[in-house]
Amino acid sequence: MSGRRFTGTAAASLASALALALALGGCSDNEAAEPTADNNEAFSVAGLPVTDGPTGSREGVADAERPVENLSDDEVDRLVVNAIADVEDYWRDEYSAVFHEPFVPVEKFTSWDSTQSSTASFCGTSGSGYYNAAFCRSGGIGWDRGGLMPDLIDAYGPIAPIVVLAHEYGHAVQFASGIVNVTTPTIVREQQADCFAGAFLRHIAEGSAEHFTMNTSDGLNNALATIEAIRDPVYDAETSAYGERGQHGSAFERVSATQAGFTDGAVACTRITEDEIRARRGDLPQFSTTDTVSGDVSVTEESVEANIALLQEFFTLQEMPEVEYSAQAAECDGATLAKPVAYCPATNTMTIDVEELAERAKQGKKRVGELSGPDAGDFNAYILLASRYALAAMNERDVPLTGPQAALRATCNAGAWTGYLALGTGDVTLAAGDLDEAVNGLLTDGLVASDVESETAPSGFARVEALRTGVLGDITECDTRYA
């Protein structure tokens, strides 16, 4: 995480943000782009079943052809050109439905190799050393086939360049339709484009894309992780004018926008505005400020105890679970539970391996090439502690502790505690970047979203949605949604 405060600074409530989000959520043209609930979320993704089939290029389908400046015959360019064809097929039908006018495809595409000293230029910029993919109003869409795209494929698989291409094509759609212009805040343009990418991912997941397939388990997880990887870093309020420079938003925000498109379609993306983003942010910390400790705080028995105290303050259990510190995996009713944190309802005991929990703070999908993230951090450890404590709270409320729905409820409860940290009323408060670390963990191994038997909810999409529901909601909403 990027700085954890050990002070008791006051902060405004998230309740107003939640109220606005709930008032605006849904599918009418006057509503904001919040993903809607699904009645069987543990086994579905926004109404689609959780699947584990192939993700990537369809076998036996001929490659598409498009005029591309400096096109090579390598696999990356073939994949991107096929993605262009499928994205255009999607918008050919969707554009008129959303914007009530004919779709006009992008006319110009450019491929370059940033690793070469001599390569094509894009939008007036030499491709040499240009590690990027972009939309340019005068130059169309371009991508780095030599650096960025291979790095994305190595990190997140073949779905990653498709996500990036769909995002860039989303920018073309924005300007063509007139829903944005050059004065529109960058963060609005970027999160709308994330949302459009999410809508196209739904198109693939439904089996409607000619060249690609994507399962809704690890395939969709990797798509969301791609969005997370190109999030903004945490800005220092003393040295960076956050909001006055080009920005895409945090991983928490960007994944939320992508999920909105996947859940409610492209029309939801047109409703992303500054006010909607502000409502989604609530009072969550956006900056690393001078009253924060620079960098992560070491995970120690002392820091764990500080977090447990705040967990008890939030959940107010009549009987706090006994805490045992041990490097041995916990045994519960004859079953061995996963480390580094486990809860056993039979004895009302939490077993914590502090050393392994500290290692978790260092884990996650590391930076690849020149990508900005995602980074691991200490909140990847503390959010796991919170979800295990949430199981103790659920046990006291006599609600089920096993199964994917229980896992999502525990995640949601941990999210509600996370929102409580943002209020700044205790010795431990939420810092900018913490939620990104939580999202990283949910998409990497999902242990936070596991039940009392350490069985993980299968959908990363649902895991992140459960966290967000809790962060912007409360325990009552968690218990209702994940009953």
pLDDT, tens digit, 9 for 90 and up, residues 369-419: 666 554 568 899 999 999 999 999 999 999 999 999 999 999 999 999 999
Q: Tell me what the mean pLDDT of segment 72-76 comes to.
A: 96
Q: Tell me what the mean pLDDT of segment 245-265 comes to.
A: 85
pLDDT, tens digit, 9 for 90 and up, residues 154-176: 999 999 999 999 999 999 999 99
Q: Tell me what the mean pLDDT of segment 97-115 comes to.
A: 97
Q: Tell me what the mean pLDDT of segment 86-105 comes to.
A: 98
Low-confidence winner among 111-120, 293-302, 374-383, 391-400 (lowest mean pLDDT): 293-302
pLDDT for residue 367? 53
Q: Which residue has the higher pLDDT, 233 or 476?
A: 476
pLDDT for residue 423? 82
Residue 235 has pLDDT above 80, yes or no: no
For residues 317 and 396, the answer to whether their CB atoms sit within 8 Å is yes
Q: Tell me what the mean pLDDT of segment 473-482 comes to.
A: 94
Low-confidence winner among 134-138, 180-184, 274-278 (lowest mean pLDDT): 274-278
Average pLDDT, the chain: 85
Q: Tell me what the mean pLDDT of segment 410-432 comes to.
A: 86
Q: Tell me what the mean pLDDT of segment 58-82 comes to.
A: 97
Q: Which residue has the higher pLDDT, 483 or 87?
A: 87
Other CB atoms within a 10 A radius of the CB of residue 191 amount to 28
Cα 97 versus chain centre, distance: 28
In this prediction, residue 283 has a pLDDT band, given cuts at 50, 70 and 90, of: low
pLDDT for residue 11? 30
pLDDT for residue 361? 87
pLDDT, tens digit, 9 for 90 and up, residues 31-43: 333 444 444 677 7
pLDDT for residue 59? 95
The percent of residues above 70 in pLDDT, for the chain, comes to 82
List the domain boundaries for the chain.
Answer: 17-284, 301-481
pLDDT for residue 290? 37
pLDDT for residue 477? 95
pLDDT, tens digit, 9 for 90 and up, residues 320-346: 999 999 999 999 988 999 999 999 999
